[in-house]
Structure 1
Amino acid sequence: MTSTTATHSRARRALAFARNTWRGLTSMRTALILLFLLALAAMPGALLPQRQLNAPKTREYIAQHGWWGELLDRLQFFDVYSSVWFSAIYLLLMVSLVGCLAPRSVEYLRSMRAEPVLTPRNLARLPHHRQVRLDASVDEVLAAANTRLRGWRSRERAEGEGVRSISAERGYLRETGNLLFHFGMLGLIVAFALGKMYFYEGQVIVHADGQTFCNAGIYNYDSFNPGLRVDGTELTPFCVRVNDFAAEYTSKGQPEQYRAAVEYQSGNDLETGTWRPYQLEVNDPLRTAGDRVYLLGHGYAPIFTVTFPDGSVRSQAIQWRPVDQSTLLSEGATKFEPPGITDPEQRRDRQLAVTGLFAPTKLMHGGVLSSASPELTDPGAAVDVMRGDLGLSSGRGQSIFEIDQSMVDSGRLERVARENLDPGEQIRLDDGTVVRFDGVKRWVSLQVSHDPTQLWVLGFAIAMFLGLGASLLVKRRRVWVRATPVTGEDGQRHTVVEIGGLARTDQAGYGEEFTRIADEIAGTERGNS
C-alpha cells in the first residue's frame, strides 16, 4: 500500500510539473521573452562570417583569431541559423505561440458569439455615469438609444415593472487585431522556416560579351547554397545572356550607376528560342519564373594568349578578383594546359600560369603597378609567368583566382618570367613559348535567389502591421442604458434614464465619447444628475 501511494505521489508531482511547465511555456510573457532571445541569437549571424555564405572568409577568421575562433566554431557561431541553440529557441517560440493562441482563439470565438453582458444593478458605480429625467416614454428613450448605438453589438432586455435596459459593446476589432498580429507572427516564423527548407541561392560570374548562364543545375554555379530540402535536381529553368555592361563614375572615380544589358528566357520562351531584353541594375533584380537575378558586382578578365613551341595557340579570358574596389586593381591567375602531350608526368611539368595584377587605368610608382581609376581607359598588367605542376590533378580544390602556393614551396612550380605588359605586348620564354596580353573583357557577378515563401512572408508581415494598428488604435468599451418609468408629484409620467460606460482596456479618450453618447440619448434636457 505504501509503495502504491508513493508511486501515485510521484506521478502527481510529475504531472503537476509538466502542467506548470506547459502553462509557463504557453504564456504570452514567455513568448515575448523567446522572441527577444531569437532576435538576440540572430545577432552573431550578422556580425560574424557564416560558413554557408562565405566559407573562405570563415576559415580566414578562425585562423586569424586562434583559440577564440576555434571556440566560436565549436559553439556553432559560424553556422548560426542551423545551430542547435538557434533551432531550439525557434521551436520553443513556435510551441509557445501555438499554445498561447489556441485558448485565446477559443475564448475570442466564444466572446464573439456571446451576447453583451447584463446591465449592472448599480450603474452609478461605473467610471462614467449619467442620470436624467425625461418627459419621453420608455419606448421613445430606448428608440433614441438604439439609433445612437447603431453599429454596436447590443441587446435589449426587460427587467420587470416596466424597467427596460440596453447593453451595448464595441471594439471587438481590438482583440481581432491582437490575434491577427500574433497569428501573423506565427505565420512569419513558419514561412521563414519553410523558406530555409526550400530556398536556394547561387552566385556565378558571367562575361559581358554575350556569354549565357542557364539555371539547369548546380554545376553551372561558382557557389551554391541550397535549402535543407533542395538537392539541385529541380531548379527553375531559365537562361540569362549578358550582352554588355556599363558603369558610370563621378569625376573622383566614385561609382554612380551599374547597368548590365541582358536577355533572358523562361517558360515557353525556352522552347521557342525567344529572348527578352532587360536592363539589370543594382537593387533592381530580374524576376522570372519565380526566381530573382541580382547584379552583385563586376570586374575585368584579362585576355592572355599562349603560343607553345609546337605552334599550338591557346587563348583564355579568366576573371580576376578586385583587391581594391575603389580602383578595381585586380589579381588573379590564368592557367594553361600544354597541348599535344599525352604523358601525364610531362604534361604536369609543363603547365603554365599567368598571375599578377591588372589595372584598368595603370599608374606606375617606381616600377610597381597600381590603378588610378576603375574606368577602363589605359589598362596594364604586371604578371609573373609560372611553369611546372599547378596541382590541377592533385584532387585538392583550389581557387580560380590564385595558384597553389604549396606547389611553389615544394619547387614543383617555378617563376620563369616577370614583366609589365600593355595590351598587345608579349613575353618570350626560354623554351620559345610566347605569352601575349591581348586585352580585357568585362565580367559581372550574378546572384540567383529562389524563395517560394517570399509572398507569404510579405502577407504575414502586412497582417502583423494591420493587427498591431487595430490593437493599438481600437478601444474595447461598453455602454448600458436603463429606462425606468416613474410618476411625478403632478401625476405626469416621466422616465428616469441611467447611462453608464466602461472602457475594458485603456480609458483614455473614452470620457469624451461617453459624454457625446449620453448627450445624444438624453437630448438637451437636463434633469437631476
Structure 2
Amino acid sequence: MLSLLGVAALPGALLPQRSLNASRTDEYLAQHPTIGPWLDRMGFFEVFASPWFAAIYLLLFVSLIGCLTPRGLEYARACRARPVSVPRNLNRLPHHARGEVAGSPDEVLAAVRARLKGWRLEIRGHTVSAEKGYLREAGNLVFHLALVGLLIGFAAGKLFGYEGQVIVLTQGGQFCNSGILNYDSFRAGTLVDGTSLSPFCVRADDFRATYQPDGQATSFHADIAYQAGDDLTAGPTGPWRPYGLEVNHPLRVAGDRVYLLGNGYAPRFTVTYPDGTRRTQVIQWRTVDPTTLLAEGATKFDPPNAADPQQWRNNQIAVTGLFAPTSSGGKVVTSVFPALLRPEVAVDVMRGDLGRDDGRGQSIFEIDQRQVDAGVLKRVARSNLTPGAEITLDDGTRVRFDDVAQWVSLQVSHDPAQEAVLLFAVLMLGGLATSLTIKRRRFWARITPGASGRTELELGGLARTDQAGYGEEFHRLRDELLPERPALS
C-alpha cells in the first residue's frame, strides 16, 4: 500500500497542481487541449484532494491497522510466555559448545545465572533457558503505530489547518489575522470556514537585505512587532512585542507560524489636482525579476470633489509602469541591482474610466486592458522619473514620484497537529532504530555432574532473526562460562 501511495503521488510531482499554481495549470491545459481536460476530470491537477488518492490513503490505514492488531496481540502473548525449554539435542543448534568446568552443578548453575543477568530466565532443575531482545518487535510495532499516527496527524492538519499569504508595507503597515478577507491568498482546510482564525496582529516596521556584489542575496531581516492574547484585547493602547523575522525563523504566535517569504518595493506617488487638492498613494508593485527586483504595477487615484458620477469616471488616474531600485540610467528603465541605490520609475499616466465600479474585481498590479481597448481609458503622459520629479498633465494636474517604500510578503500557517506529527516522527525513528539494532536471541545451558568432581556444561544458542550477528555474543558467553578450551564445540 505504501508503494501504491507513492506511485499515486507521482502525478502531484510531475503535473502542476491547481492549489499551488493555478496559472501553470491553466497554461498546461491550454498547451494540451486533448489530454489536459481528461486529466482534469480525473483529478490529476488536484492529486492530494482527489477521491482516488483519499481511497488509497484510507486503504493504507486499514491495511496497517489490520496488520498491527494481530501482531500486537501476539507480542503481548509472547511477553507473558515462559522461555522455551532446553532442546534435547543442543548440538543441532547453529551455536553449540560443551566442556567441563570446576565446581559443583549448583555452583556452575549460579555462575550461569549471574552471567545471564538481564536475560529472561527460566530455570528447571539444572537447565537454564534464557531469551533476550523482546524490544525488537516492540520497536517494530512502535514504528508502524507511529506511522499510523503520522498519517492521522497529516490528515488532521489538512482538515483543520489553513495557510495564507499577505503583503504588508513596512514603516508601520499592519495585518490582523481576523478573517480571510485580510489575506491576498488563502487556502483553508476542509473543515475551516475562516470564522475562527487565531487572533493576532503583526506590524512591519523595517526590512533589511544584504547582497553580494553580483546581486545574490545573503540575508533578509524584517523588524516586526506583534500583539496576541491580553496585548490584543487591550485595544489600541496594548503593547507591541518586537521580533526579528528571518527566512526559516518564523514567528510563533497564537498557535500559528508567521514566515518571511519575500520582499519588494512600493513607489509613492502624489497627484496634485488643478484646484490644489492632493492625493498620495503608496501600494506594492509586483516583482517581475527576482534577481534585480525590477517591478511593475499600477497606482490608482479617484478624482476629488466629483459630484457627477460621469465626471468621476472620466477623470480617474492610474500611474503604471516599471520600477528599478538601481536603474541602469538609460532611456529604457531597467534594474541592475536589487538594492535601493538609484531608484527610477518609467511611468505611463492613464486617465479615464478605470472600470472600478462595474462590479468586476481588478488586480491591484495592473489596469483593465478592456477599458483601454474600449477607448475610455487613455494614456496622457509618459516619462522616466527619479524621486522628487513630476509630470504636468494637459489639464494642469501634476503627478510626482515622491519616494519608495518596501513591502514584505508574509505567510501565516496554522497546523494544529504539528506537535503530534513531530512526536510521531521521533517515535518512528526511535522504533526503527530499536528494531534494527536489537536482536532477538535464545540461549540454553544444561548442567550435569562430571568425573573427578567437575561439572559438564553444554551450551546452545539460536538467533530469532537472520543475519543477527549472534555468533560473537555466543562466543563471549562460551569463553566466560567455559574458560578452558571446550572438549567439543
* Segment of structure 1 superposing worse, 504-513 or 353-362: 504-513
Residue in structure 1 matched with residue 216 of structure 2 by the alignment: 254
Question: Are positions 1:222 and 2:184 aligned together?
Answer: yes
Aligned-partner SS, 1:391? coil
What CA distance in whole angstroms lies between the structure 1 residues aligned with 2:31 and 2:384?
33
* Deviation readout 1:137-189 (Å, 9 max, x if unpaired): 2212211111111100111113xxxxx31111001111111111111111111
Q: Is the 8 A contact 1:359 1:370 kept in 2?
A: yes
Cα distance, 1:389 vs structure 2: 2.4
Q: Which moved more, 1:130-139 or 1:330-339?
A: 130-139
Cα deviation code 1:277-334 (max 9, x no counterpart): 1111111111112111111111110111122344332111010011111111100111
Distance 1:314 1:386 in 2: 16
For the 8 Å contact 1:331–1:356, the answer to whether it is kept is: yes
Equivalent in the alignment of 1:307: 272
TM-score with structure 2 length normalisation?
0.95
2:86 counterpart residue number? 119
Matches within 5 A, 1:179-218: 179-218=141-180
The residue identity in structure 2 corresponding to 1:245 is F
With normalisation by structure 1, the TM-score equals: 0.88
Aligned-residue offset at 1:520: 2.0
For residues 95-244 of structure 1, the aligned pairs below 5 Å read 95-158=62-125, 164-244=126-206
2:297 and 2:176 map into 1 onto residues whose CA distance is 25
| 2:242 partner letter | P
Deviation at residue 37 of structure 1 after TM alignment? 2.6
Q: CA RMSD in A?
A: 1.9
Q: Note if contact 2:97-2:488 (Cα within 8 Å) is conserved in structure 1.
A: no
Q: Measure, in 2, the Cα distance between the counterparts of 1:62 and 1:419.
A: 39
Q: Is the alpha carbon distance of 1:415 and 1:290 closer, same or farther for their aligned partners in structure 2, counting shifts above 3 Å? A: same
Q: Is the 8 A contact 1:285 1:295 kept in 2?
A: yes
Amino acid aligned to 2:312? R
Residue matched to 1:13: none
Q: Does 1:400 align with 2:364?
A: yes
Letter in 1 for 2:394: D
Runs of 4+ in 1 over 6 A off after TM superposition: none
Closer/same/farther in 2, CA of residues 337 and 54 from structure 1, 3 Å limit: farther
- 1:373 and 2:337 are equivalent in the alignment: yes
Matched, 1:271 2:215: no
1:471 matched to which residue of 2? 435
Pair 1:348–1:49, CA change in 2 (3 A):
farther
Q: What SS does structure 2 have at the residue aligned with 1:437?
A: strand
1:110-153 C-alpha deviation (Å, 9 max, x unpaired): 11111111221111111111122344322122111111111001
Equivalent in the alignment of 1:459: 423
Are the aligned partners of 2:146 and 2:428 in contact in 1 as well (CA < 8 Å)? yes
- Per the alignment, residue 29 of structure 1 pairs with none
Task: Trace 1:276-425 onto structure 2 (pairs within 5 A).
Answer: 276-365=241-330, 367-425=331-389
In 1: Cα distance, 2:425 partner to 2:406 partner:
40
Residue number in structure 2 paired with 1:483: 447
Select which of 397, 400, 406 maps to 1:433.
397
- CA separation of 1:60/1:310 partners in 2, compared to 1, >3 Å: closer, same or farther? farther
In structure 2, how many angstroms separate the alpha carbons of the residues matched to 1:340 and 1:468? 73
**Residues 1:344 and 1:50: Cα distance change in structure 2 (over 3 Å):** farther
Aligned to 1:16: none
Deviating more after overlay: 449-458 vs 37-46: 37-46
Deviations 1:233-281, CA, capped at 9 Å, x for gaps: 1111111111111111112222111111111111222234121111111
Distance 1:257 1:327 in 2: 15
CA–CA distance in structure 2, aligned partners of residues 49 and 388 of structure 1:
39
1:364 CA displacement: 4.1
C-alpha change, 1:70 and 1:409, in structure 2 (3 Å) is farther
Aligned mate of 1:503, from 453, 456, 463:
463
Q: Tell me if structure 2 keeps the 8 A contact 1:475–1:506.
A: no
1:101 positional shift: 0.6
* Paired AA for residue 100 in structure 1: C
Name which of structure 1's ranges 409-418 and 466-475 shifts more when overlaid on structure 2: 409-418
Q: 2:480 is matched with which residue: 493, 517, 520?
A: 520
Q: CA deviation at 1:517?
A: 1.0
Question: Unpaired runs of 5+ in structure 1?
Answer: 1-33, 159-163
In structure 1, what is the Cα distance between the partners aligned to 2:50 and 2:444? 56
- Tell me the SS of whatever aligns to 1:169: strand
Indicate which of 70, 84, 92 corresponds to 2:59: 92
Q: Which amino acid aligns with 1:145?
A: V
Looking at structure 1, the residues matched to 351 and 323 of structure 2 have their Cα atoms a distance apart, in angstroms, of: 20
Question: What amino acid sits opposite 1:209 in the alignment?
Answer: Q
Q: Take 1:46 and 1:302, find their aligned partners in 2: how far apart are those partners?
A: 38
Percent identity over the alignment is 61
CA contact (8 A) 2:165 2:410 kept: yes
Matched AA of 1:510: Y
Task: Figure out how many residues of one structure are paired with residues of the other and give that number.
Answer: 486
CA distance in 2: counterparts of 1:296 and 1:493, whole angstroms: 83
Could you tell me which amino acid in structure 2 is paired with residue 517 of structure 1? L
Q: Does the 8 Å CA contact 2:97/2:486 hold for their aligned counterparts?
A: no
Counterpart pick for 1:450 among 409, 414, 419: 414
Task: Give the 5 Å matches for 1:26-37.
Answer: 34-37=1-4
Residue identity opposite 1:417 in structure 2: A
